[in-house]
Structure 1
Amino acid sequence: MKRVTAAVCLLALALAACKKEADTPATSQSSAPASTAALPAPVVDTATAPVELKEVVETTPGYVVGITYATQAAKYPGLARELKRYADDARAELIDAASGRTAKDNPSPYELSLTFDDVVDSPDLMAVSADGSSYTGGAHAAPLIARFVWLPKQNKQLTAQELVPDKAGWAAISQYVREQLHSALSQRIDADDLAPAVRAEQIETGGRMIDDGTGADPANFAMFEPVRGADGKLSALKFVFAPYEVGPYSDGTQTVEVPASVLLPHLAPAYRGLFLGGV
């Protein structure tokens, strides 16, 4: 009996020793942490990452593309990203249209021409214009017109809806713009010395297009340019209307300057200080 007991004790001690060895971390070189283990890639903040605004010139049998960035917008990555996105989208649409056509549709290559220019460049505000055209067949090219107004200190784009937040403000702006456009329409038609009946018809047709395109809705006034006064503050906003928005294609792009005195009562308080007479 004693021999059995002793054997059992020896077996227990042996098992305990084995368990200890198994629980003890290996100290050999092969088990040491590898100093060359791959580290996670650094996180890039896309909101602040630089954006290259590089001129694009492409000439192929199917299409021709020319995009020029005559702007200093690259210093604001958020704004530069918006400009590049607009240009890339226009280019992609042209290439897509070119890839789906045949020589029978139109033997001439499709064409895209687009230029970005600085309108205002100040520490408080930067505005960039985009003007060009895209030809994918038909009687004439489609206009490419856009405006970008950037607030560097807030690092964001200023929209018409944010600038004038209430409907009453857009009603006042709409009325002013309509008056200016109707007056310009009358002057253009009078210069053509038309017969009374033809003149009346053109006034009616043109007037209806103006009214349809200038309703009291911020979407109708999404494109605007700041106009700087002598002291650096904004003296007006120039609203931009592409062909077909407030007139036929033949009338081209039309603009109306709305003075600060008309805008001020309706501007959001945060932006009144940018304008003449604002605090």
Structure 2
Amino acid sequence: MKRVTAVCLLALALAACKKEATPPPAADAPATPGTTLPAPVATDDGAVELKEVVETTPNYVVGITYDTQAAKYPGLARELKRFADGARAELVESANGRTAKENPSPYELSLTFNDVLDSPEMVAVSADGSSYTGGAHAAPLIARFVWLPKQNKLLKANELVPQKAGWDAISRYVREQLHSALSQRIDADDPEPAVRAEQMETGARMIDDGTGADAANFAMFEPIKAADGKLSGLKFVFAPYEVGPYSDGTQMVEVPAAVLLPHVAPEYRALFVGGV
């Protein structure tokens, strides 16, 4: 299933990031001590201000909150601000392009960034909110940013697991968990057998469409920290509509390191429990 507009904002933000020229590492750049990760690359360390945004006009209302320490990582801060600015620009354009007759209520955007993990090896920030531009309900605004401070770069799903075989395995595991959760939700309502069969068929189709063995379907993930500081696994995040109807909300599936490790790129294996 194609990702909804909210998630596409993240793709646009990351695509813009790719266009920025990044100088190659110096030939004599030392390896980072205590890890097999690639050596850091030089980047522009100019500070980025992550300032709360509150706007109220007759056409739109915007509230953006940065409840995060990401400003100490300029590259990550730029990614967060790019995502927020893009969401705001899209809302404002839509609001200014409509007429009061079409929709008398102001359009609304609410977005909050929170820290998920902040360690020397890895930083993760969540973005959760919504954008209302008319209709029955607001569109979800959901993104996840995983940053490698020592490499000054975002960690992307297709770099973490570079081979399709890896996504085949992850897809199977995630589907099993989502199918089980779907069954439990339906059974909780105790529907008639025919209704249950129809709901299971429809729900299973949405799950399978949204979890095909493609890194793009698993672009949003959060690291799960173990007691020793390494990662015990990853939590993959699916926005409403991706693997279920809007009423099911955001769905998450935790995939343990044991499932991931055989497929993780060698340079990132040391980040996980059991990695070398």
User: TM-score scaled by structure 2?
Assistant: 0.84
Structure 1 match to 2:81: 84
Given the alignment of the two structures, is residue 174 of structure 1 paired with residue 174 of structure 2, yes or no? no
2:51 to 45, 49, 54: 54
SS of equivalent to 1:90: helix
**C-alpha separation in 2, matches of 1:265 and 1:51:** 37
- Write out aligned runs for 1:128-277 (5 A): 128-277=125-274
- Write out aligned runs for 1:30-69 (5 A): 47-69=44-66
Deviation at 1:48, TM superposition (A): 1.4
- Matched letter for residue 58 of structure 1: E
More relative contact order in 1 or in 2 (CA 8 Å, sep 6+)?
Answer: 2
Deviation at 1:137, TM superposition (A): 0.2
Q: Deviation above 6 Å: which 4+ runs of structure 1?
A: none
When the two chains are superposed, the root-mean-square deviation of aligned CA atoms in Å is 0.9
Structure 1 unmatched runs, 5+: 1-44
Structure number, greater radius of gyration:
1
Identity of counterpart residues, as a percentage? 83
Q: How many residues align?
A: 235
Deviation at 1:47, TM superposition (A): 2.4
SS of equivalent to 1:51: coil
Structure 1 match to 2:37: none
**C-alpha separation in 1, matches of 2:100 and 2:164:** 50
CA contact (8 A) 2:43 2:152 kept: no
Structure 1 residues 61-92: Cα deviation after superposition (integer angstroms, max 9, x where no partner) = 11000000000000110000000000000000
**C-alpha separation in 1, matches of 2:121 and 2:228:** 14
2:124 to 100, 122, 127: 127
